[in-house]
Amino acid sequence: MITFSRFIIVILLLGVAIYTVSYGVWAWKQKNKLGAVMVFLLAIVIFVLPIYTIWIREA
Amino acid sequence: MKKKTYFGKWEAVCVIVNLLCTKIFLNYPRLTAEVGANAGWIFTLYTALLAFIGFLILQKLYKPFEGMDLLDLGEHIAGGFGRIIIGMVIIFFLGYLTVVYLRTFSENMKLVAFTMTPLSFVEFFFLICMIVGAYFGIEAITRLHALAIPFIIIGYVTLNIGVANFVDLTNLTPIFGSGLDKILMEGFPKVSVFSEILVLFLMTPFQKSHKTMKATGFWSLGLASLFFLIVSFAYSTVFPYPTTLEKAIPIFHIARLINLGRFFERVESIYMVIWAVASMLFLTINFYLILATFQKIFNLKYYKPLIIPFAILIMNLSFFPPNLIKSVSLEVDQFRNWSWLIGFAMPALLLILARLKKKRSA
């Protein structure tokens, strides 16, 4: 169920994930491809994991 | 040119002592009773002796690699691949500790003082400290340790002296508790209570010489062993066995006994303060080292953009254990059985391989 607080959490997570991706893009442009890939992975994990915890595990 | 950061022996000792001793506020006294029964103090002496022998060997092996941390050693042995593998193991070690301790500290804090507060709200305060500490960097964190640790030590020693009236030496009998064979066999993997010494091998680039690192290690192990011994002695003489197995937060129960006349009551509030400060420092340094290791293994230029993502990750993972009992078990029954492999065996193996490689290339 989507409540107001959960909606806010998703927006915040999305903001942090976008910020992390932008750092990954910067690292990629600096020719640090492995570092960039790891930062992209981190961005995916920090967006997916809390959603899994809030929706699936709590249910 | 960027100035290279160095910090002194005292700062490093404070960091390592806090890392080693924070478990006193959680479950260390009960762990000594679980393994040694009435002879918790023998268990403490035994594990301390093992840790000293382990560190003696490690610092001898470390001599030709002054100023290199474990990641540099991994790179020296197997290039970038070695650095990444060692770094991932270190991140796993520090991450496991941080996640479990964040949950346990918060649950205990909730149990003692904030019974109605949601767990996530209590965790949030620890998280803010971790984020702020990581933002300011290693120099600020170590200086804060150097300022706070003496007060924590004074508070801690005062608590243990305060229960002197309740000490009953007959609680130490039978003198060998659960039996010497059990203490020696089951106590061996529990040398993992000293496995946080690994952090010293991550701080070597910040220390000026091998001599400083060696002195830091011995002083840290000595002080930590002394504090472990004080608490195991106080706990097993104040409470009779098997009551010692039942206390959820042993040192809190010790603190609650203290009552100095009509003037000083509820001394456990001192305990609350030193516990909270020690926990925050513990989590902050661990969190910073996770970020610094991640930055170093993947050659990233900055670690600050990673602070919030890692904070979210750690807070999220800390909700995975279903309850306090499970999170304590993750530390005591699992982590403290194998973490000596990462804390002592892994650096030893790395140093031996690095020495062989050096000899071959010479």
- In this structure, what DSSP letter does residue A32 have? -
Q: What is the domain range of residue A48?
A: 4-57
Residue B358 pLDDT: 85
pLDDT band of residue A31 (cuts 50, 70, 90) is very high
Residue B192 pLDDT: 92
Residue B26 pLDDT: 87
Judge: A49–B313 Cβ closer than 8 Å, yes or no: yes
Residue B293 pLDDT: 96
For B321-359, give one letter per residue: b (16+ CB within 10 A) or e. beebeebbebbbeebbeebbebbbebbeebbebbeeeee
B53 has which bridge partners? none
Please, what are the averages of pLDDT over each run of 10 residues along chain B (362 residues)?
74 94 90 88 94 95 89 92 95 95 92 88 93 94 94 89 87 85 90 93 88 93 95 90 83 83 75 89 96 95 95 94 88 89 94 90 76
Q: How far apart are CA B271 and CA B269, in angstroms?
A: 5
Tens digit of each residue's pLDDT (9 = 90 or more) over B49-94: 999 999 999 999 998 888 889 999 999 999 999 999 999 999 999 9
Domain count within chain A: 1
Q: How far apart are CA B68 and CA B357, in angstroms?
A: 15
| Residue B80: C-alpha distances to residues B14, B72, B75, B289 (Å) | 32, 9, 5, 19
pTM here is 0.94
B260 has which bridge partners? B264
Using alpha carbons, select from B251, B345, B281, B320 the residue that is nearest to residue B96. B320
Judge: B312–A19 Cβ closer than 8 Å, yes or no: no
pLDDT at A42 exceeding the cut of 80: yes
Q: Are B102 and B110 in contact (CB under 8 A)?
A: no
Structure-token pair, residue B155: 């508070």
Disruptive mutation site among A8, A44, A49, A55 for chain B (greatest number of B CBs within 10 Å): A49
pLDDT band of residue A15 (cuts 50, 70, 90) is very high
Query: What's phi and psi for B176, nearest 5 deg?
Result: -95, 10
Residues of B in contact with A50 (CB under 8 A): 312, 316
Structure-token pair, residue B171: 């609680």
The per-residue pLDDT of chain A, averaged, comes to 90
Can you tell me the ipTM of this complex?
Answer: 0.94
Q: How far apart are CA B229 and CA B160, in angstroms?
A: 11
Disruptive mutation site among B91, B299, B312, B317 for chain A (greatest number of A CBs within 10 Å): B312
Residues B136, B137, B138, B139: what is their CA dihedral angle, to the nearest 10 degrees?
-50
* Sign of the four-CA dihedral B302, B308, B309, B313: positive
Q: How many Å lie between the alpha carbon of B109 and the closest alpha carbon of chain A?
A: 23
- Domains of chain B, start order: 9-348 (1.20.1740.10)
